[in-house]
Structure 1
Amino acid sequence: MATSTRRLIYLSQHADASVLAALSERGWTVDVAESGRNAVRAARSTPMAAGLLDLADGSQPHDIAGVESALARPSVCWIAIVAPGQIEEPSLRRLVRDYCFDYFTIPVDPARVASAVGHAWGMAFLTDAVTGSLSNSATPASEGEMVGSCEAMIALFRSIRKVATTDAPVFISGESGTGKELTAVAIHERSRRREKPCVAINCGAIPPHLMQSELFGYEKGAFTGASQRKIGRVEAANGGTLFLDEIGDLPLESQASLLRFLQEQKVERLGSKPNLKQMHHDARQNVSASLVDEVLEKEIRGASKLTEGARGAGAKVNLLPARPADIEDDGEFHYAVLGPKAASNGKPSAEARRFIDETTGPDKPRAQNRNAVVLAVPSGDGIEVAREKVRDLLGWEKVREMLKERTDIDTAATTRLEGNLRAARGEMVSQIVMAYCIAVTVNDSNDVAAYRINVDNDPLFAKMAADKRLRIESTAVNAEALLPGGPFDLWAAGDKARFVKDLVGAFAATARLPKMLNRSAILETLLQGCEAGDFVLRVTRADKSVRTFWKSRPDDTATQDSSLEVALSDAAALMELDAALLAPGILNGLWKTDAITLADISEYFSGKHFVEVDKGGYTENVLIPAAEPLAIAAAVAGAVKSNRVWLVNGTISVLGEDVPAGFVSESAQLLAPPPTFSSVDLLQDQLPAAWSGGQSTVHLIHGALSANFGKPLPWARTFQALDEAFRLGLIERTLDSASWPCDMGGASAIKIRVSKNGVKPPSLPKLNGSKAASADLQTHEVQDLADNIDALREATAGQALRIRVTVEIGDGSQVEQSVIDKVNVVLAQIKVGWMAE
């Protein structure tokens, strides 16, 4: 195109002559317009492609609207001239920014202005819009996929071309559906970045919890399922153009991350520096419900606070029983911790009821211990909180596993993680215990009821046992409470006997009774009542014979016999009587004199005799049960043989041996055992009536001792004294004497004399001021000594107590070595090195 056709509009009230001259030299035809309206009119009448806007003369800023209407001509490319500082005025700055190709600050170089106008004309001439305008074509202007010929679209195309050459962020505003993404694509295609990707992101369509990983990507192991590194959409647009659509819909947290990216121009993938909180959030979302339930059950089993103290109190503990049959219907107190399925709130759940009502099924109801089953179950809301705490812990454990695969983890992150793990575990265990705040058991009306317990991190069972609503009794009852007239009303009118198993089991089976923690304590109470003489215990054998126990403890065989029953004293006959009871001082009112007879004992056990018993603050007359004559006779014989009672019948005197048949009769006298005699009591100085010429016989010695005592002495007392005298060498047998030892029948043939050696009995060494007691003890007396060691210790408190024991074997004749060896084996078991030689 010839230069003579080049025309421009010079919008100025005071056109610069030097600028006009420079333009004229360059071949420009200049139309000077003093106002925006004149400029528009000139542009319409004559096509022109360039314009010069003089803002420095101070007149144009007062006509912003008119100037802008001229600048908006799509066919004109403008150059502005401004005064210093004028560009800071917002309205003028907007005009220059939106409509001008370039601007100059006065004073200006006319040649540079003319050159810039030429460049502007050239750029305008290259555009489709200008081409269309110059050729008067009806074809609309276009930009990429956008087409339009209205002034708004032409202005948009101009803005696109203008910003496409820069790397600055571009803000595109407009309502939904107005072509913001098309504008972004058009900018990208006109930019130097057009060979790189153009990535559009609809920020409103990405879930908030995925925004970080979608925008910026993630590292391997950043969260559960992150098996490899993935770049985000922002990084995918590297070198190209990133269009963020609907950016206002971003959550605040994501906006902060995006702002950091825009400011620092750096992408930080999720997990590049471990965000423990985010990793934990993602990890816990991927924990399966089945794993949570599995771990929850394991942790319930390990929560010691749920069962602590229960076994020690006497309860049988059932931890997470799978079915009601796992809680035996055995009459024992059971404390069961049920699983989450039994969770209850205001009322017992159906699952909890099953464990109270059933055993193996609905058709097999619980009968023996319905009242003795107490269930600890969680509340519904409490167990859900516990589940979330389990999920929290599993999430942190998963984070720890993910971090093990990484090498960029610092100590601080590891420390925080371990702290989070400890805190999560502590909260989980605490919440599990707190969740078990419901006790389910039967009330005194036999209805299954639920009770909320005020729990903390103290043992749960102790709180349940202390709750009066549950009626759990930990202290043993006394025997009288189990008898007729007692507070528990266990006997029907007219009952004289009840099976022990029924009395013991009544507390577990009967809802109106307290829940006794320790079934064995009830049995022990009955056994102690028998020992105290409150009633009789009896066992019926298979052959219908009966064993009875009164003021004695039944053996294990009897205790375990299902036929063991409590019989009241007024309805029981003793078939057996403990021989120990007949010893003097044992039975109240039996030994009213020093000597009693079989008739006295029979009257005492006639079933009509009462004795006054001290009940601790008051006295009560208690009936002594009747005893069969054979039982009385057998008890007397046993008492005599066990050295508890001395029997004298005529000239017969028995102690410590079997009573001859027929001598336990009405004529027999029973006495306390006589004192023992020492070996010195047998010598001539003490017993002259038995000695003549320094000699005597065992028979004479026994007769003289009996005469001095006033009653025929039992042979056992004389034998002990004689045996000690022989052993100590105080006496010896004559040459024509029979051998020693002997029984009473051979006493006349044992001739003795005072020992010629005059040996004195050896004495044990004593410390100055100490006292010693020596005696020959029979086997049962050694046992009695052992039974009373504690009493000796108590009696000698603060003093040294030494016990010296001599075990002598044989009667003077040679003892076989095999016997000595056996004895030494026994002695060595008692004290190492103790042996007979």
Structure 2
Amino acid sequence: MEKRKLLYLNAHGTDALPGLGMLKEQWDIHAATNLDQARQLIEHSDFNVGLAWLEEKESKLSACEDVFLCGKQMAWVALLERPSLQRSSLRRLIHQIFFDYHTLPADLDRLTLSLGHAYGMAALRTSTLPSEGQQGEYEMVGVSPLMRELFKSIRKMASVDAPVLIQGESGTGKELAAAAIHERSRRAKGPFVVVNCGALPGGLIQSELFGYERGAFTGAQRRKIGRIEAAHGGTLFLDEIGDLPFDMQVNLLRFLQEQTIDRVGGREPIDVDVRVIAATNKDLEKAVAEKRGFREDLYFRLNVLRLHMPALRERQDDIELLAWFFFNRFAAERSPGVKGFGRRALEAMNQHSWPGNVRELINRVRRAVVLCDKPLITPVDLGLERRQTVRRIMTLAQARDAAERAAIMGALRQADGNVSQAARQLNVSRVTLYRLVEKYRIRFENPPDGV
């Protein structure tokens, strides 16, 4: 995992903070020995957190304050001598600006925890995809390159009205992504109707989706509006579309083609203005190719725009950030004595393979917040005490895939999207390169040649 950046301001002219070498194991430390140097680093670099050994002189406090405030998104942690706390001006500065403070000599374990928490809270200010309408239970959170690309794709897809197919493992946030697209689209004021295709009762799918007229069947005592019609003017989200029975797929296809529906027992088609977003954790392309329960024509109708939700193990930079996000989200459920995650807990989370993705992380953090009776959450509280070696076992295959993907993207960038040139550079055939591009879901900045 890439080291996080830390700005360390030490204007004392004395030796470095004892134990700084230990911090360097986890942080990319940029040191400033005066206020001007600190200001330049803040203006030209992207820092989320700063560690400041505070000046003792009263005359320099206002200048220090100006520097601390110029990093608008930064969270600062202060270091100071204990007698300095007797000064009201310094206490006021710490209270107004700093995320936390430590008296010297600093407890390095506590300081490491404090810096990690400060980094996570500062990153949240710019890492969430803000809600632009009705806010859901959880926001989309991430600072990793994969999530930044995902946020960019969501904004692009929201600007058009074409169908979207969202693919990804269970627990990756497919419904959140669908809601984000809806909230940013011209249909934001319309309804967002969610249908779990895998949970619909087999004999009632037709009437649930399309509705029915009074007297259409025994027990139909009044007209019922179906889910599709209920989404008129808004967005219909078809979750687990891969579980929709084959015989029902033709009805959905007809709706997508004609933008009309027929209620069960109805005589006239009804016009419906709906944008469709579908999601699945299955490989629909493979199911179509092998003729295993999914119609090819429906697949192409749904797969106009495709959005891939990365698994949590593919965005390791976000694991600690998400953990702190949900730790604070569940603040009302935790004991006042629980202050955060211990170092071993953070290591265990970074080593875990997260087969349940973000949903699993939410459940583990929430359970730990409720059950922990110590100041710091441990791997035992998270239920990860026996799983700390799992991630290392998987690392080789993941590293190989990451290296191959990076090499392909680098070659395509150098060739300006020219597949033939990139294939020659990589010493593979065009066919092989196209297959790898599809495998790693690499998007071209410029249209590739020959397509």
Q: TM-score under structure 2 normalisation?
A: 0.30
Name the structure, 1 or 2, with higher relative contact order (CA <8 Å, separation 6+): 2
Give the greater-gyration-radius structure (CA). 1
Q: Higher helix share goes to which structure?
A: 2
